[in-house]
A and B are shown apart, each in its own frame.
Chain A
Amino acid sequence: MESLSNKKKQLTVKPLNFLERAYLPAIVSGLAITMKHFFKKPVTIQYPEQKREFSENFRGMHSLKRDENGAERCTACGLCALSCPAEAITMQAAERQKGEENLYREEKYAAVYEINMLRCIFCGLCEEACPKEAIYLDGDIVPSDYLRKDFIYGKDKLVEAPLNQ
């Protein structure tokens, strides 16, 4: 019966000739291929010492930003925690006292701000949700560690370094 698509093609398997069955020429050409690779430059990047360049929109470790006067921008509104699909972010708000204006930009600030790096999926939704431009995923790859508790990053690891130091 004629096939409907007319794309049917009868294939035949050619029996191997003597040289192909002897297998040795094939082995020799295989050896030549591996030998070519022997002298190629390895493509390995020696990770901790060398790093591959990240793309511009790479999302790495979070950092909490400061404003131009060096005060923390975060006002502990909780939008980042709300937007987080992995529920990795928790925070506790506190009221700014007199004399702390150079430390915190708004009247309310995050006393505790924790991100669980094992839960975080680095989607960047916190970055998009933040009305104060306080959080960015502009850091490096999160380093490895031995204990789960050490992956809960507090403000000590997240907040940007102060300006004039």
Chain B
Amino acid sequence: MELADIAIKFGLIIIIFLISLVIAMYSTYAERKIAAFFQDRVGPNRAGPWGILQPLADGGKMFLKEEIIPTNATPFLFIVGPSLAILTACIGSAVIPWGQNMVIGGKVIPLQVTDINVGILYIFGVVSLGVYGVMIGGWASNNKYSLLGAIRAASQNISYEISMGLSIIALLLVTGTLSLGEIAQQQHGWHWNVLYQPVGFILFLICAFAETNRTPFDLPECETELVGGYHTEYSSMKLGFYLFAEYINMFISSAVMATLYFGGYNYPGMDWVTAHLGPIAGPLIGTAVFFAKIFLFIFFFMWVRWTIPRFRYDQLMDLGWKILIPLAIANIVVTGVVITLLN
């Protein structure tokens, strides 16, 4: 690989990293604002116009708070927990195709950090690593509520990963590839996978809610039962990392859902726009469309959070094991049969 290529990749990585951090930051603001609108309130509006400086104020507060490590906690693992959570949240974005290839001065620049041919498996690997951050943090706190939260997180994530994986298998039968870049390309011109896999999409959506620990699956941090769940003992920026990781996960899973089921950067009339605006502006519009889809998903995450109450623990397990997994298997069988018959 040439030096220029490496520089371009490096720049792309930094841009994506910054974008995901900024989006996570402003997700906190958006969450509070949207929650307020859903409850006929105004929301934060004191820091800057319409409160847009609120995330900065919150960040400043987080950094300046006292950093407490409980006496009975395991100090090393106590720090590893949040670090691992934010690390796994950040590396998920590496395989997501953000747009079509750009052509600048005869040089093709892919808007994807790396298009590995097992992209979906990579995402799954990263997602299942994410639970270690929660587990280690909850265990290292040496607090029964933290431990209960961590156990809940682990069992919930493992249960829902199964049905998530099964719902993806049906999608893979349709696409025939594991590479996210190719999957995005295949959906060009209204061949969005959600039209071929509606059941699979709903299963994936439900599992995404569970994997990101969002309501109605936020039992790991269920404050009415577990004080604060796995991050009960955390303060200062270590708590901030956990909260940040949650929002980055939400962003990444929105991006994955938009890529897998909603056409990624594809939009109607794309060829015409690209032909008229040239190879630089065209892909950028595709990227903007992709981000619009992501924001819609993030909004949906928040919309659901302020609508549906939390599940009871046995209901959660019932839903995961007795409903979602059989449904996903049935979906695979039906998809397989239809594909075999059509060929």
User: Could you tell me which A residues sit within 8 Å of B by CB distance?
Assistant: 24, 27, 30-31, 33-35, 37-38, 40-44, 46
Known: A31-B303, A37-B40, A41-B40. 4 other contacts (CB 8 A): A31-B307, A42-B36, A42-B37, A44-B40
User: Please, what's the 1-or-0 string for B36-55, where 1 marks a CB less than 8 Å from any CB in chain A?
Assistant: 11111110010000000000
19 contacts between A and B (CB under 8 A): A24-B202, A27-B307, A30-B308, A31-B304, A31-B307, A33-B307, A34-B306, A34-B307, A37-B39, A38-B38, A41-B40, A42-B36, A42-B40, A42-B41, A42-B42, A43-B40, A43-B41, A44-B40, A44-B42
B297-325 toward A: CB 8 Å interface, digit per residue (1/0)? 00000011011100000000000000000
| Nearest residue, chain B, Cβ from A30 | B307
Chain B hits for A37, CB < 8 A: 37-40
Q: What residues of B have a CB within 8 angstroms of the CB of A46 in the complex?
A: 42, 45
Contact A40 to B40, CB < 8 A, known contacts A31-B303, A34-B303, A35-B303: yes
Assembled-state Cα–Cα distance A27/B42 (Å): 25
Number of B positions contacting A (CB below 8 A): 15
Give B residues with C-beta under 8 Å from A. Answer: 34, 36-42, 45, 202, 303-304, 306-308
Contacts of B45 in A (CB 8 A): 46
By beta carbon, the residue of chain B nearest A32 is B307
* Chain A contacts for B40, CB-based, 8 A: 37, 40-44
Residues from chain A with Cβ under 8 Å of B38 in the complex: 34, 37-38
Give the residues in chain A near B306, CB-CB below 8 Å: 34
10 nearest A-B pairs in the assembled complex, by CB-CB distance? A44-B42, A34-B307, A30-B307, A42-B42, A34-B38, A38-B37, A43-B40, A42-B40, A31-B307, A40-B40
Question: CA–CA, A38 to B306, complex, Å?
Answer: 11
Report the bound CA distance from A44 to B39 in whole Å. 10
In the bound complex, CA of A27 to CA of B38 (Å): 15
Taking the nearest CB of chain B, how far is it from the CB of A22, in angstroms? 9
Measured in the bound complex, the distance between the Cα atoms of B308 and A24 in whole Å is: 11
Minimal beta-carbon separation of A36 from chain B (angstroms): 10
Nearest opposing residue in chain A for B39, CB measure: A37
In the assembled complex, how far is the CB of residue A41 from the closest CB belonging to chain B, in whole angstroms?
8
Smallest CB-CB separation from B305: which chain A residue? A34
Whole-angstrom distance from the CB of B75 to the nearest CB of chain A? 38
A91 CB to nearest chain B CB (Å)? 40
> Which residue on chain B has the smallest CB distance to residue A35?
B303
How far is B37's CA from A113's CA once the two chains are assembled, in angstroms? 47
Bound: A39/B34 CA distance, A: 11
A27 to B37, CA, bound (A): 19
Contacts of B37 in A (CB 8 A): 37-38, 42
Q: How many Å lie between the Cα of A33 and that of B45 in the bound state?
A: 25
Whose C-beta in chain A lies nearest to the C-beta of B300?
A31
Instruction: Determine which residue in B40, B41, B303 has the highest number of CB atoms from chain A within 10 A of its CB, and name it.
Output: B40
Residues of B close to A31: CB separation below 8 A: 303-304, 307
In the complex formed, the residue of A with least CB distance to B216 is A27
Given A34-B303, A46-B42, are A27 and B308 also a contact pair (CB < 8 Å)?
yes
CB-nearest residue of chain A to B202 = A24
Q: Which residue of A lies closest to B319 (CB)?
A: A23
Please report the C-alpha to C-alpha distance between residue A41 and residue B42 in the assembled complex, in whole angstroms. 9
